[in-house]
Amino acid sequence: MREVLRRYFDYRQVLTLTGDEVRQRHYDELTIEDMPSTSDYSEGLHMLLSHHPPSMYGHCLRVTVLGRSLYFCGRCSGIYGGLGLGLIFLFMFRIQLQPDWFWFFLSVAMGYTTIVDWMSQRLTPRKTTNFVRASTGFMSGLALAIIFYLANLLYMLVALASMSASVGIVGIIENRRRSSFYKEAEQELEASSESTVE
């Protein structure tokens, strides 16, 4: 176990699983033994639709086709549905969205429903349901449709930057939590190995 954890902590050298050989290589370099098998490829194809491993299929919408189950990400299904229906509705009826700054701010607020739901789920013990994921995703999709329909490049860039910043903030917070957890685990392993040596 110690050798496996060391692969995550030592960025200069990566030890083989047996610990017999030490070679200079990048910490995330794959060896032949690390290469995925063909079953991993089929799981990868499922991940394209679900965006979740099988252990998290509770976050997905399940559709059965010809006796086989397909899992679609609940939040993304809502986003794509809202985007598609919103664009069809706006272009079919040629709706005038005036003043455009009002519709832009309304769209950003609608888009943040998904971000707030996702961030609160990632950073707190709060759990959400597929209904909430799909409905906030649908609102975010409608918001994207409105922003695309306004056809203002500045609005698109501001919306993209604000959403990207939100995702980046969550990534930074999670990375810091993960790093502190790994440091604590490494310290516990070293302390336990020192006590067994003595």
Digit-by-digit pLDDT tens for the chain (198 residues) are 444 444 444 433 333 344 444 444 444 444 444 444 546 666 777 778 888 777 778 888 888 888 878 888 889 999 999 999 999 999 999 888 889 899 999 999 999 998 889 888 888 888 888 899 999 999 999 999 999 999 889 999 998 898 889 889 988 988 888 888 888 888 888 888 777 766
CB-neighbour burial class of residue 72 (10 A; exposed 0-12, middle 13-18, buried 19+): middle
Residue 9 is predicted with a pLDDT of: 43
Cα angle 118, 43, 182; round to 5: 55
Residue 39 is predicted with a pLDDT of: 61
DSSP state string for 117-165 = HHHHHHHSS----HHHHHHHHHHHHHHHHHHHHHT-HHHHHHHHHHHHH
Q: What angle, rounded to 10 degrees, do the helices at 153-197 and 2-9 form?
A: 140
pTM of the predicted model as reported, rounded to 2 decimal places: 0.68
Alpha helix ranges (H) inside the chain = 2-9, 38-50, 74-93, 100-123, 130-150, 153-197
Residue 107 is predicted with a pLDDT of: 92
For residue 170, the cross-strand partners are none
